[in-house]
Amino acid sequence: MNFYFEAAKVLDKLDSKKGSIKGIIATVAEKDRKRTAALVIETLKYKPVLNEVLDATKLLKEERKITSRNLALLLIHDLLLANGIQAGDGPIKQGVLRHKTRLHGEFTRIKIKRGAKTNAELAQTDDSRAAHIPRYVRVNRNCWTVEDAIETFGSRGYELADPLTSIKAFAKDKHIPDLLAFHPQVQFVEDALYKEGKIILQDKASCFPAHVLAPPADEGSVVIDATAAPGNKTSHLSALMGNKGKLFAFERDRKRFSTLKMMLSKARCRNVEAVNADFLMTSPTDEKFSKVTHILLDPSCSGSGIVNRMDHLLESEPQNDEGQKRLAKLASFQLMMIRHAMKFPSVKRIAYSTCSIHAIENERVVRQSLETPEALDGHFVLAPQADVLPTWHRRGLTEEMSSPDDAQSLVRCSPDGDATNGFFVCLFVKRAAGGDAPAVTSKRRIEDETTDTTHKKRHKRRKKAVSDAQRAS
């Protein structure tokens, strides 16, 4: 029964919007990961039907020992749609089996009502947009070269062509030099190249932050990835740095930290020091971090841009007051992350990204960041379009920014037309102290300066905001 309890925890985290299906399942112990993933995904596919069965039978009201709705859904799934509940006899299993006849009866009634001839017809289908997103594979330059990778795939019968036209076609990406695109149906999780860390399965848009940050491949480089797990962006940074210098990878969650370390080891990232700590609680003047020049920020977000073969099964962000409050808390947390990054004395470049489509987490956070004391006193501005994927066509929302130029400095990705997940990226750069400072004296800056009069107030506000954001994420 422990297996079902662990799977229920995954569903609980998904309900709480604590990450994507792939990200949360990655935290499950490796020995149980594949089995847990299969059960969770199949249960999500049938979740609307299983919920209807559960409510119609009043199982939770009559069986008080079954206190978790998600646990009940998992058990009912295996009873009705698999080979039965795979657990020893116990009060919870027996509680479900007492209602076996009624559960089957309600399931059959729903099947007839919906005109389904097979169980599969009751399942939620794949998001149609996923069929137009290639299977992206980033070549890990810590292990080998893109040329070697292309030669290897060629020896397997793959040909350089439009990856959407054939299962044996693949292409070099136009924007990310290390990225290859394959047909959406191609699988690599059992491939030796993936298991050896030679290839990283990473969506194209997720490669943008490290590419835009562009840390130098130099022994003197000092870089921070502020929210590193599961480690795809960290390994990308490491490869761009040529495994040179020092890359600090922060992750405060203990389980995700373990996942991060395993991933970095597999990807042969020798210049990374994983730090099991909260980036926000790190002192910018700490001697260990005071020389950091590049920071990657990919903080918790709503995940509203994620469109893949699994996450469409999750309920979308509610467009009610509760949903808007959660977005506001996330935006507050995101702004706090940027402001903290700007306090590092040697930082020159800060890449900020989300997998969100909401302006409140993207353009509005950036606009507010530019008006903070940290940005104004530190001479931070947005890098021009020429330095931020200049040939990418989809830019920021003009109506959300102070100027058209600022909007052009931002990058947006849309799952509806860009063959990627929804994503947002920008780059803050520190201008030379003698340059023209932005002429901004806003009401928000005055309020910030007033609020920041004492260290005690700053600490209190930060602690509360972090707590709220962590509850929301």
Q: How far apart are CA 225 and CA 216, in angstroms?
A: 14
d(CA 442, CA 436): 17
Q: Which residues pair with 354 in a beta bridge?
A: 424
Among residues 143, 207, 301, 355, the one annotated as catalytic is 355
Lookup: tokens for 28: 């499950």
Contact 272, 249 (CB under 8 A): yes
Is residue 143 flagged as an active site residue? no
CA distance 236 to 141: 9
> Strands 294-297, 411-413: parallel, antiparallel or unpaired by DSSP?
unpaired
Q: The tokens 């928000």 sit on which residue?
A: 444
The dihedral of CA 155, 167, 303, 428: what is its sign?
Answer: positive
| Cα four-point dihedral sign 9, 12, 13, 14 | positive
User: How crowded is residue 242: how many other Cβ atoms within 10 Å of its Cβ?
Assistant: 16
- For residue 98 the two structure tokens come to 């007492």
Q: DSSP state, 402? A: S
On the 0-12 / 13-18 / 19+ scale of CB atoms within 10 A, 125 is exposed
**Cis upstream peptide for 373 (omega within 30°):** no
For tokens 């903080």, the residue is 299
User: How far is it, in rounded angstroms, from Cα 424 to Cα 428?
Assistant: 14
Query: Residue 299: CA atoms inside 13 Å, Cβ hemisphere, count?
Result: 28
- What stretch of H or E contains 412? strand 411-413
Contact by Cβ (8 Å): 347, 430 = yes
| Dihedral over alpha carbons 206, 211, 216, 222 (to 10 degrees) | -30
**CA separation (Å) from 180 to 135, 193, 392, 422?**
8, 14, 17, 19
Q: Cβ neighbours of residue 229 under 8 Å, at least 6 residues apart?
A: 251, 253, 256, 257, 259, 260
d(CA 470, CA 281): 14
- Residues annotated as catalytic (active site), given as ranges: 355
